[in-house]
């Protein structure tokens, strides 16, 4: 699915500014991430997705600010830089099979689709799931496979996946089922709450964005990429 900018698009300037901000923040965080720039196709995909369509009317004016925004049900749409970074880290590209845990409003799934990925996405909150099914269909992203359920269990019958994205913070550990469903050579990106409330009180990052990689022999490695702030991942929904 490739969306093109509409004639007279009133968000064109703001969208371009968003892409510049993503590129700037990528350079600023390169010491953490090891990535001074993201793949051009990731930025191109970000530029094609109409972020304003994933927000409530009162927040549309903020659509291309490089910040998270509320989407209801105490959830947020992630900061554009984080969406782009996670897409890059998991190796999202044409023909890749990607699992997303936490569909939310569907924005990350749309970006993955624009990259040419085959996307499976699980959302635990019923109200978000129903609204996002309609939204993605209306925006011509109906090819995304959607499920309402416990994303920490992954999508076993569709596994394995080349990449897995978790859009909420796991407590202390990444769900084992997700690591099991990652293909050899694949990458899993997940925020993990490691510092707890004490870490927050001491002014330390309570969460780290973690990259899990599985080599061709199935050996798993893990590294912390960046301090982040996500809503909690709920297991057993």
Q: How far apart are the first and last CA of the chain?
A: 31
Which secondary-structure segment (H or E) carries 99? Answer: strand 97-101
Which of the following is catalytic: 78, 87, 121, 124? 78
Residue 217 carries which DSSP code? T
Give the alpha-carbon dihedral of 226, 228, 232, 234, to 10 degrees: -30
CB atoms within 10 A of CB 182: 24
CB 122 within 8 A of CB 101: yes
237 belongs to the catalytic site:
no
Residue among 118, 122, 66, 121 at smallest CA distance from 92:
118
Angle at 215 between CA 213 and CA 217, to 5 degrees: 145
Write out the catalytic residue numbers.
Answer: 78
């Amino acid at each position: 699915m490739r969306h093109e900018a509409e004639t007279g698009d009133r968000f064109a300037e703001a969208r371009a500014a968003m892409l510049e901000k993503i590129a700037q923040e990528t350079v600023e965080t390169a010491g953490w991430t090891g990535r001074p720039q993201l793949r051009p196709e990731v930025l191109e995909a970000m530029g094609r997705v109409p972020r304003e369509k994933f927000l409530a009317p009162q927040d549309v004016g903020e659509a291309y600010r490089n910040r998270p925004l509320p989407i209801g049900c105490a959830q947020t749409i992630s900061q554009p830089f984080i969406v782009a970074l996670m897409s890059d880290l998991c190796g999202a590209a044409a023909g890749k099979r990607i699992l997303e845990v936490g569909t939310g409003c569907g924005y990350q799934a749309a970006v993955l689709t624009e990259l040419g990925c085959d996307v499976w996405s699980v959302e635990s909150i019923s109200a978000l799931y129903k609204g996002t099914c309609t939204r993605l269909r209306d925006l011509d992203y109906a090819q995304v496979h959607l499920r309402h359920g416990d994303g920490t269990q992954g999508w076993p019958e569709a596994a394995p996946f080349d990449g897995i994205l978790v859009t909420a913070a796991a407590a202390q550990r990444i769900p084992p089922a997700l690591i099991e469903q990652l293909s050899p050579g694949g990458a899993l990106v997940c925020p993990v709450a490691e510092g707890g409330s004490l870490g927050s009180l001491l002014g330390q990052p309570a969460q780290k964005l973690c990259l899990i990689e599985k080599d061709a022999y199935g050996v798993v490695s893990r590294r912390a990429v960046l301090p982040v702030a996500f809503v909690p991942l709920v297991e057993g929904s």
